[in-house]
Amino acid sequence: MLHRNYSNFYKNFTSESVIDLFCQIASLPLGYNSETLIKAASSPEMIQMLVNRPALGVQPHSTWAKTLEDSFMSVAPKGLSQVFTAMCGSCSNETAYKRHKRGLQAAISDEDLSSCMKNAAPGSPDLAIMSFNGGFHGRLFGSLSTTHTKALHKVDIPAFSNWVSSPFPSLKYPLDQHEAENAKEEARCLAAAEEKMKHAKTPIAALIVEPIQSEGGDNHASPKFFQGLRDLTKKYDILMIVDEVQTGVGATGHFWAHEAWNLTTPPDIVTFSKKFQAAGWFHRPDVRPDAPYRNFNTWMGDPIRALQAKTILQEIRSKELIKNCRDTGDYLKTELTQLEKKYPGTISSVRGRGTFMAFDLPSPQDRDTFVAKLRAHGVNTGGCGPQSVRLRPMLVFQKKHADIFLDAVEKVVRGQ
């Protein structure tokens, strides 16, 4: 029997009953028609925000500070005591890129003010955001220059041509059986990143990285790799932005995926969206703009979405959903690995943390066919990278749902 939150949406809209493991591009935390979210949606507070939407940068409602405390700030990553709210994942990254050390350190001169009006230095400085091959950080003007997944997303759009990207580790799975060669690969990528930092034509102001490259193919790297990156960003005075738009809010078995790295110094900025139903970024106090309007737009987020985030957090806590992701994820990984062994040459490279999981098919066409066949068996999944299938179930996904999915996978690999 399906969890009531699982099949309703598709049933209502397509008359087909589908178990959804892709969840509106990894963005549904509690499933469809969550009673708790429906109740919260009809609260007087929510209705007031709905009909009187505030411009949060200038005239927030008197409850805004408390809403921020009860929602985002209650799960702020260690070391990051402030939050900037935004409208979407790309907007979060895009606005985070506007905060960089150079801008923070320099006092603004008259020359800065006059030159920036002509898009010229020194007021409009030539600075770069460094990213990784295979990374995805959005599709707005700046964020697209740090996105390196599908050419079709980028073609015809002017790019910041001096913004460098560096190789991300290409690891072998399962990770615990390939430790030595994976460590070598990560060392190679760290050396390449340092070369880019050392020799960049345009000074690098910030570096952005996903804890697990998602759109790019669910590419993992070890805590040691990320600690190495943190050390490099410190050495070269570069802000470290961790993009938790897809990995954040519990699915990996940690609230923030980067918690698993145990960094010696926290990242400077952590961006979020998707499963929080709200977007923005956490940061250290010194990353905050020193004057109003330096990072600004009309709405600057949405109090309705922040109230939803607060309700999502209440559910995560009261139902122990992060533990649920760990337990269900362990089960799913064990069972998928069994299928990988039982049917060699079909699915491979089962990998993941919590329920944030993926596996590969032999070719891109095989992957597309596999996703289509799963759908015909009533299971919705997503593709990522050239030939991977990614699973992004809701946080309420349990073993009984996993069994339905596993049964469909077995049918598809057996050609049924």
Ligand X SMILES: Cc1ncc(COP(=O)(O)O)c(C=O)c1O
> Least distance from C-beta 150 to ligand X, angstroms?
12
**Pick 164 or 209: Cβ nearer ligand X:** 209
Binding of residue 85 to ligand X (CB under 6 A) = no
End-to-end CA separation in angstroms for the chain: 22
Among 20, 185, 186, 215, contact with ligand X (rule: CB under 6 A): 215
Among 72, 136, 226, 272, contact with ligand X (rule: CB under 6 A): 136
Binding of residue 149 to ligand X (CB under 6 A) = no
Longest dimension (CA), the chain: 71
DSSP annotation string for 226-280: HHHHHHHHHHTT-EEEEE-TTTTTTTTSSSSGGGGG--SS--SEEEE-GGGSSEE
Only one residue has tokens 């740090």, namely: 146
Binding of residue 88 to ligand X (CB under 6 A) = yes
Q: Would you give the DSSP letter of residue 107?
A: P
Strand, helix or coil for residue 412? helix
Among 34, 71, 90, 219, contact with ligand X (rule: CB under 6 A): 90
Binding of residue 134 to ligand X (CB under 6 A) = no
> Least distance from C-beta 158 to ligand X, angstroms?
19
Q: Would you give the DSSP letter of residue 162?
A: T
Is 136 a known active-site residue?
A: yes
**Positive or negative CA dihedral for 25, 145, 81, 47?**
negative
Query: How far is CA 46 from each of CA 51, 163, 305, rounded to the nearest angstrom?
Result: 9, 42, 9
**Pick 86 or 404: Cβ nearer ligand X:** 86
Binding of residue 324 to ligand X (CB under 6 A) = no
Active-site residue identified among 22, 72, 84, 136: 136
> Least distance from C-beta 110 to ligand X, angstroms?
37
Binding of residue 243 to ligand X (CB under 6 A) = yes
Binding of residue 214 to ligand X (CB under 6 A) = yes
> Least distance from C-beta 167 to ligand X, angstroms?
18
Half-sphere exposure of 299 (CA within 13 A, CB side): 17
Active site residues: 136, 243, 274, 298
Q: Where do contacts with ligand X occur on this chain (CB under 6 A)? A: 25, 88-90, 93, 136-138, 210, 214-215, 243, 245-246, 273
